[in-house]
Amino acid sequence: MSRVGEKIKAARQTKGMSKKQLAKKLGVSEKFINEVEIGRRIANQSVIDRLSKILGQEINDVTMNFEEEVYKEDKSKYSTPVKEKKINSVWSDAFSEILKDVPIYDYSLTKSMGFRKLPVINNKIDGYSKDKVVYIKVQDDDMLGFRIQEGDLVLGHLTQEVENNSIFLLEYKGIRAIRQIKKLDNNKVLLISNRGTLRTETVGTKDFKPILKLYKLEINLS
């Protein structure tokens, strides 16, 4: 069972709701609720936001999506399992204080496509909480004018706070895209892309959702 699934199940039971009742309120099948709770299916951000409202609890802990890793090792008949487990645990704990496997995602931020090891200093990577830092693989050439092209890896940290003139992975009009954000006033921002020609789009501050502030680019030379 995933940590998100456990939290949904606990909140549902606290609310005194059956899976069928929750599924009806959410507008999905009971099978969907069951698969999310047991970790067989990953709920997207929109579903998690709706679950939070229905259950009256904050399910939207984005860090939960990035800590679902399991390490398996075959046991030798000549080894001592208990001691080996303790030794591996000690080494894992030691290295986790120095290096962290930072996941690489597409724009959906659901299933990891791989990892890159980055140094951890005082529980932070590049000054950001180590559990909030992720890579995304660029999926198009919308930001070519910013030297960001399809196939590049961009490092960012999860945040919903808008920083003026920064580049973000964001969600608007039902899609996720990389854009530079320029504040116009308290109610409007300019979303900037450049596929060889500068393109701007004015949107309300409530009409888009910042997801990931991007701060470091790794260029694909192949």
Examine the fold and report which residue of 55, 71, 91 is the final residue of a domain before the chain moves on: 55
User: Are 51 and 146 within one domain?
Assistant: no
Residues of the chain with pLDDT below 70 are 1-2, 60-97, 220-222
**Total domains in the fold of the chain:** 2
CA angle, 127 then 108 then 147, to 5°: 60
* Domain, as residue range, for 186: 102-218
Query: CA–CA separation, 77 vs 48, rounded Å?
Result: 45
Q: Is 144 exposed, middle or buried (0-12, 13-18, 19+ CB in 10 A)?
A: middle
Q: Render 16-48 in DSSP notation, one character per residue.
A: T--HHHHHHHHTS-HHHHHHHHTTSS---HHHH
For residue 42, the domain's CATH number is: 1.10.260.40
Examine the fold and report which residue of 55, 70, 86 is the final residue of a domain before the chain moves on: 55
The reported pLDDT for the residue numbered 75 is 47
The reported pLDDT for the residue numbered 100 is 93
The pair of structure tokens assigned to 116 is: 């890159």
The reported pLDDT for the residue numbered 113 is 94
Is 213 part of a structural domain of the chain? yes
Label residues 31-62 b or e (16+ Cβ within 10 Å = b). ebbbebbeeeebbebebbebbbebbebebeeb
The reported pLDDT for the residue numbered 94 is 56
Is 90 part of a structural domain of the chain? no
The reported pLDDT for the residue numbered 18 is 92
pLDDT in tens, 73-125: 444 444 555 555 665 665 555 555 689 999 999 999 998 999 999 999 999 99
Is 71 part of a structural domain of the chain? no
User: Are 39 and 121 within one domain?
Assistant: no
Instruction: Give the distance, in angstroms, between the CA of residue 15 and the centroid of all CA atoms in the same chain.
Output: 27
Is 97 part of a structural domain of the chain? no
The model's pTM is 0.57
The reported pLDDT for the residue numbered 190 is 97
The reported pLDDT for the residue numbered 37 is 84
